[in-house]
Structure 1
Amino acid sequence: MRTFPQSKCCVKLLTRSVYALLSIASRPTLRHIQSMQWLLNRYFLPTLTPSDNADPERIEVPPLDSLLTEYKTPMKACLRDTSLQGRNKAEVERLFKGFSAWISDVSTLYAVDLSIRGSESDITAQKLKFATRKFCERLCDKNGLVPLSKSKRTPLSAPLGHPPNQDIWAPLIQHFDQANEYFIDELLTHMLLLVNNGIIAESDPTYSKTIASWVLWMVDTMGDEAFRKDCVRDLLSGAGSEGGNSM
């Protein structure tokens, strides 16, 4: 662990980090003591004493559960009453900006923790790709694309189809498909890793099948023929070599 060197470059980095910290802390969710403690331990202190051998996958990112839950509320309301779509449009757009801000926060955290060096374009790409991957991982957690309740997931007894909650999450996926060049690749890569994970399939088969149904939905609704073939091949391999996992 090295101490923070007194150079113009590092002072500039620290100043940027302070402004980013203030921007993050202005959010209502960071009024909680737990969130402020996270910022101190995971954001500000690493800026002062960055690790020489930091592993990007060990970076602890801020929670996303509250924002995912907040997003579902207006979407479910619109499904129950279509007349609310116009009224809730601004709220949904605000939440999209909240997700984008989360990605931006994580990308800044990545750069600070790892003290990345390189051209500005390379650094920007690394930061965004890492943050997008973490966003996709959180999105695939239970309470996101996969409902907490197993009864609301894709049934094991039914043929693989589109996910039952597609109307809630499809607008978000379509939004970030347009807004983030890495989103679809990172989301599909993570989904296919989950589908092909035998341990997950055995311990929570409805989770695996719901993720598989999202892959199928993406194959059916976006991408070209080569994209579809690659996804179908990887999706089918998730059935395993010993009779499949009920997909």
Structure 2
Amino acid sequence: MRLPRRVPWASLAELDQVCAWIYTDEHDLDAKVLAINRLSAWKAITPLPHALESTLALLVTIQQDKSTQGSSLNHLSLRHGYAATIIRLVNGLVDPLQLGAYARSIASIAAQLGLPAWLVELRHAATHEDLPSIELLREAAQQSMGWLLQNYFLPTINPASAPQRQTPPLRPLWPFLKQYKTILKTVTRDASLRTRYKQEVNAIIRDIERWIAEAKVAANVAVGEIDWDTGERTTGQARGGDRDDNMALREKWALEQFCDALLEKGGLVPVSKRKRVFPEDKFWPPQLSVSLWTPLLKHVQVLHADFAYTLCTRILSILFPNEPSKTASIQNDVGVTAAAAKTDSSYDMCLARWVMWSLDTWSNPGSNFARGEETDINLGRDIAVLLLQAPGHRLGDTCAKDSKAIKALLQVMCSQNPAYTIAVDFLEKPSSQFVPSEWTDSDITTMTDRLTQLLSPTTRAAGGTSIPESASAPTATSAAGGRSGTMEADASDNLPDGWRRVEATDWKPCPIGVFHRV
């Protein structure tokens, strides 16, 4: 559930009015002044979203430019004013979306937002090169105002009629993984080359991390949630928890896309079945695969604490192909698709062994293996719960998918933790043993008797005393805890425990729950 957030306007009608003042008539300077005054008043009482703050700065600069046209005033101050507003607009949009451990280019993030590329170039020129001309800066300001109208005002005022945002597709991840795999194969075969290829391996890992950051931005843009509220974030106001939840969801989605690419044949699982030779001493993947992928997996885990859990859950989603997703996800319309169900038994077995490798490598209850922080995360426990709670799947069903990999994984986990054995024995029973028997006449009779007792006109008091509804009208008041109420009881009846009789002269009718003594 989205938490409420603070906005400057009392209703969307106020924002609509400001939008009309700005965009209805380009030459109506009085309307522009009204918009500037309203935005300035809002800014005095609450931090403005970045879009409105940029709109205010652009309006003030454009208004100053129009009021001084025809005069001999030097254009240098106006050029600086225009340049500053463009720089702040671009930086305010891009900086919150630098979500990875390694910085991405401003141009690539702006392209994902649909921001015109030449505005990014203008921002670079105004910051590091000669100040652009006044004509170019005026055109940039006009295009910026138009972009804000299409991407902020209209979607905010009327979300239903806002056009669907077209998000650039994600770059394919497999070329990076293939290049990494090729180099690691060379290094694994000849350890003396490790130093020679160290820089190249690190560069590929940085590119992969940038791809994950790009996927997080793509998830943000796909649902139409550009991070406008930079003012609220810096002042630490009430929306922080909701923002953290949203960002965690975006990162989860990005990690799922990364894991899906890893789990394709040729990634963590070798393409050739002859290379799927498993060690006999432990339930791990082939030694060569472990040597190739361990550096990358551990690096990603250090930067993303949820990676190990995400990798294991994506593997389980393949081993249980009919299992509905247990995690919230974003509509997959921006890139890599989820891995399809596989029918290769050795492929399944290799995936199950990667789960065990993950548990042996990262399952350490009581401490965060990635950052050395105290935590209550127990990866082994969480994965065991997912395995044992898989609905609609029993290990003993002959119609279910080949479950040798799941059985083998559970056996190894049971050997490490005998507490799981009882649950595994239950799962191995055929589901036919759990079909409920047919209803009998005695069952119907028992339920009818219970229903008759519930509908009986006699009310059973808490102390076990029956009080007929036909009794007359004295009032009983509970002496315990100050609570009171009325009940009909005949003078000859015994009162339940905790009730006492009040004389009619000492009370008058009151609402339920209120006792008023005269």
One-letter identity of the residue aligned with 1:162: W
Q: Which residue of 2 aligns with 1:35?
A: none
Deviations 1:164-218 (A, max 9, x none): 11110111111111111221121111112222227935x2222211111100111
Residue 209 in structure 1 maps to residue 333 in structure 2 = no
Unaligned ranges ≥5, structure 1: 26-38
The secondary structure found in structure 2 opposite 1:200 is coil
Residue 200 in structure 1 maps to residue 341 in structure 2 = yes
1:127 to 250, 262, 269: 250
d(CA) in 2 for partners of 1:241, 1:223: 28
Residue 94 in structure 1 maps to residue 203 in structure 2 = yes
- 1:36-51 mapped onto 2 (5 Å cutoff): 44=114
Q: Which residue of 2 aligns with 1:144?
A: 267
d(CA) in 2 for partners of 1:175, 1:160: 24
**Kept after mapping to 2: 8 A contact 1:163/1:217:** yes
Of 211-220 and 109-118, the range deviating more from structure 2: 109-118
Assess, with a 3 A threshold, how the Cα gap between structure 1 residues 168 and 122 changes in structure 2: closer, same or farther. Answer: same
- 1:1-247 mapped onto 2 (5 Å cutoff): 9=51, 12=89, 16=94, 22-23=107-108, 44=114, 61-116=170-225, 119=240, 120-153=243-276, 161-164=283-286, 165-197=289-321, 200=341, 203-224=343-364, 226-232=378-384, 234=386, 240-242=395-397, 245-247=403-405
Deviations 1:68-121 (A, max 9, x none): 101101110111101111222211111111111001111111111211276443
Higher helix fraction: Structure 1 or Structure 2? Answer: 1
Higher RCO (CA < 8 A, seq sep 6+):
1
d(CA) in 1 for partners of 2:394, 2:346: 13
The alpha carbon displacement at 1:242 in A equals 3.4
Of 169-178 and 111-120, the range deviating more from structure 2: 111-120
**Kept after mapping to 2: 8 A contact 1:239/1:245:** no
Identity of aligned residues (%): 27
d(CA) in 2 for partners of 1:127, 1:228: 24
**Kept after mapping to 2: 8 A contact 1:195/1:235:** no
Unaligned ranges ≥5, structure 2: 1-18, 24-48, 55-88, 98-103, 116-146, 228-238, 323-339, 366-377, 406-518
**Kept after mapping to 1: 8 A contact 2:283/2:356:** yes
The secondary structure found in structure 1 opposite 2:341 is helix
Q: How many residues align structurally?
A: 221
Assess, with a 3 A threshold, how the Cα gap between structure 1 residues 61 and 241 changes in structure 2: closer, same or farther. Answer: farther
The secondary structure found in structure 1 opposite 2:285 is coil
**Kept after mapping to 1: 8 A contact 2:363/2:379:** yes
Deviations 1:14-59 (A, max 9, x none): 9639x9672379xxxxxxxxxxxxx7xx8749x97899699xxx99
The alpha carbon displacement at 1:232 in A equals 4.9
Whichever of the two has the greater Rg, that structure is 2
One-letter identity of the residue aligned with 1:93: N
One-letter identity of the residue aligned with 1:153: R
Pairwise CA RMSD: 4.0
